[in-house]
Structure 1
Amino acid sequence: MKIKKIIAIFSLLLFIGCKKEEIQSPSPAEKGDGKLLSEYFSKLRIAPLDIVDLRNKNNDVKTVFDKKKTAGMIHLRDSVWSNGLGTSSFYESDEMVVTPGNLSYIYPGSLLKAASIASDQFETFSGYQTAPISVQLSFPSSLSIGTLSSPSLSNSRIFLRNALLAPGFSGNTILNYSDYFAAFSRYEEVKYAFGYNVNQHRLFSSTNTNFDSYSSGTYYSTKFVASYTVENFTYTMSDPTANELIDMASIPANAFNGISPVYINSVTYGRFGLLVLESNNNSSEMKSAFQKVIKKILKKTTESYTQEETNLFASCRITIYLLGSTMGNNVIQLLINPSPDGVSDFIAQNVGTFTASDPGVPIHYTAKYLKDNSPFKTTFRIDH
């Protein structure tokens, strides 16, 4: 009995010792030597995340991914099925689109549970104090480089506003245009356009009940999803050093329970639009007409709509999701039998320009693991 008690006590002490070693506090001398903060969290574990696995035969989506029209999407590998009847392609993304539900968490230095991003149920940490971080804005300004005394949404906005109003600001150039277009059969496939496992039911079902997995809504034989991204500038933070992001004197040894959190390291500002078209019209004709809408939004064509194209839109509906709209930071609407001119003209007005008074809004972001500053990524599987 005594031997069992001794073993139990020894095991408990060993467990406690291991827990304490999850975080190694820097010595006073180390705090100013420029060592990366990750060196003190290297014993944390990066928990594996589930693959976003829709397993839907969709050559169109694969073709779009192969052409790299989706920002941050990288092809990993192909795997031929054992029966030889198909192939599974795997892609990963390190850029995620902002939604109304996570907007308040998206700023440089935001510390989050990695699994909470993967489940689209964002969770922060408590029980510690933050430390300053070094940040930089990609546009010219006398105040584009500096320090946030404490990473927070309000402090990040104040720093941005000051840089926009400072001498030397220039924001007339747009970093990047990108667009995405694909047919789809299941509403879950809009996840691809968001770059992570977004909860499409929560985001869209109150506007379009077909996004509700329990809905008995109208069936549409033809469905397309399209998106566009206009990038104005990026708001980034450097990999934190031992005296940044987290006050090491205030953090408990087992604050993260052995699992590495992630921190938001980059936020891109601009405008983003997603359009989901549903119709029972001929697929190829509807695709051609819808592609013209997207081209007119991005000012890639001045062609007028033919009467036949206009008639096609008289029996369809389009769900739109806009970030950086003139109607507010975000807009979600369902348009029934819309005029194609009305759709393209309205959204084209929301593409906007980059000025100090209209810099755009957060549209997508990236994150890194505290353990080693490696990027947080979402893996997708596509069958074809």
Structure 2
Amino acid sequence: MDTDTSRTLERALYEVKRTIVGQDVLLERLFVALLARGHVLVEGVPGLAKTLAVKTVARVIGGEFHRIQFTPDLVPADLVGTRIYNQRDGEFQVALGPVFANLVLADEINRAPAKVQSALLEVMEERQVTIGRQTYPAPEPFLVMATENPIESEGTYPLPEAQVDRFMLKVLVDYPSPAEEFVIVERMVAGLPDTGAVLSPEAVAQLQTHVETVYVDPSVIEYAVELASATRAPSRVGRDDLARFVTYGASPRASISLVLAARALALLRGRDHVLPTDVRELAPDVLRHRVVLSYEALADDLQPDDVIRPIIGAVRVPATPLGERPTGSELSGIRQEGTEPWTPPAR
């Protein structure tokens, strides 16, 4: 991997961490989603710097940031925009909504009704909005970070599974440690440092293209598929005891997200190839919102992670010789439908 790319990403993360304390996983996942062209769903109680985190990332990449507070009276036009009649000109003019920004914070997304949630998730998936007969593309790069409050359920509209599946990652944010909280209070008392732009939207777009060149060994792809498949049938990996807790497992979109996110994580960590451990580390964030638990699991007060982590632990991690990319003749041995899996050549 090119050293300049690695140093640029390190500087960007360092600049964000000058402001944000104790949210290393969230910050790393935000950059992963940004590089992999995905979106992030964050669950955490109020006051954990979720808004400040995404706002700081927007400053570091030199992009535009918009925050949308979701409420029960919100309508789709409040998000995507609408047509306004101009009496002076006698014509309709389009007023674009707040989703037209590089980083969008959808605060408490589960407080808005289904129509509003669908409007946001449509622009996330299609990266465009149709108003009247005109289609308006979302800016590049484009990242949506939606938040949910786990401690309050009154007046909320839970996201349907089909819509939650559109998020690449779901990150759980916990309280900081006492030492981290001391630093947070100290920084707020002294005043937050000015955050400078390390990147530009154009530079981020180039990095997104660079991610596509990160090498993924076929055995790593097979590992990602096996992880997603194991959530649908835990008995395949010897966890028959967990089958009764799962109603629906992760969709094939989970396998795709695992590989795409792992490539971004590899680039962020200065590598030009994906390790199986990259996939394993990201698996809980990719799978936890895609697994539908059974009523029995809910009755036992189980969380998705209580079921997912044992399943991940039961799937064998492949031992892949790194840096040995298959040649054209070897590629013909990669598993297709009904053929044997490809095995890397001996050193």
Same fold (TM over 0.5): no
Decide which structure has greater helix share: 2
- TM-score tier after normalising by the smaller chain length: under 0.3
Decide which structure has greater strand share: 1
Structure-2-length-normalised TM-score: 0.21
Larger Cα-atom Rg: 1
